[in-house]
Amino acid sequence: MLPERIRDRQAPTEPCTAVAAALPGVVDGSIRLDRADRRHVEQCLRCQAELAQYRKLLRAMQALRTSTAPVPTGLVTDVLAHLEAAGERSAVRAALTGRKVAYLGGIAAATAAAGAGAAIVLVSRGRKGRLPLAG
């Protein structure tokens, strides 16, 4: 039997299949291979090549972070106009909410004043009623 190191790279073995399933996680350290699988990778050119490609893929993905897609004309203007409209709606809502609060506050104050007035009337009537007894 040929040593694993010089086996045909195009013919994945059973361990290759098992290790290959883990390699997408091995590349960023989120999956750790056990000792047997690590030994397999050390001896298997195919798995080594696959792992190297995952590393290359990850580097290429990270490099995409600095590239930007062509932005459609007028996008930023549209976004800012959208925000301005939202800001105006929010200001109108705030103003209406403020008026509502003032209105409710007015009703509450009027109710309180009416209650206080009624209480004074009742108290004064009560005093009038008690006067003859006091004398």
Residue 3 CB, shortest distance to other proteins, in Å, is: 20
Q: Residue 98: which of 112, 85, 106, 82 has the closest Cα?
A: 106
What is the number of other CB atoms lying within 10 angstroms of the CB of residue 51? 20
Residue 10 CB, shortest distance to other proteins, in Å, is: 4
Q: Contact 45/5 with Cβ under 8 angstroms?
A: yes
C-alpha torsion sign, points 8, 14, 19, 21:
positive
Through-space distance between the first and last CA atoms of the chain, rounded to whole angstroms? 130
| Residue 92 binding other proteins, by CB under 8 A | no
| Residue 78 binding other proteins, by CB under 8 A | yes
Looking at the Cβ atoms of 69 and 134, the one nearer to other proteins is 69
Q: Which of 86, 92, 104, 120 binds other proteins (CB under 8 A)?
A: 86
Surface-to-core class of residue 91, CB atoms within 10 Å of its CB (0-12 exposed, 13-18 middle, 19+ buried): exposed
Q: Which of 2, 67, 131, 133 binds other proteins (CB under 8 A)?
A: 67
User: Which residues contribute to the site for other proteins (CB under 8 A)?
Assistant: 9-11, 24-25, 27, 30, 46, 49-50, 53-54, 56-58, 60-65, 67-69, 71-72, 75-76, 78-80, 82-83, 86-87
